[in-house]
Amino acid sequence: VQETIAIVGAQGPKDLGKVMGALSPKTKGRADGKYVNSIVREILGA
């Protein structure tokens, strides 16, 4: 997740969509989307 945030260049909560868009193909079928979303929100401070 942190690697994707760095690659996308996310700076804060407003970039949540960009990060999730990049992560979705990587995590599909491997991780719960809600769980991934909560991790991203926590890291971005949303």
Domain ranges within the chain, ordered by starting residue:
2-44
Q: Encode the chain (46 residues) as per-residue pLDDT tens digits.
A: 999 999 999 999 999 999 999 999 999 999 999 999 999 999 999 7
- For the CA atoms of 35, 27, 13, 42, the dihedral, rounded to the nearest 10 degrees, stands at 40
Q: Any idea which residue has 């690697």 for tokens?
A: 3
Burial class (CB in 10 A: 0-12, 13-18, 19+), 23: buried
Q: What is the dotted CATH code of the domain comprising 2-44?
A: 1.10.10.410
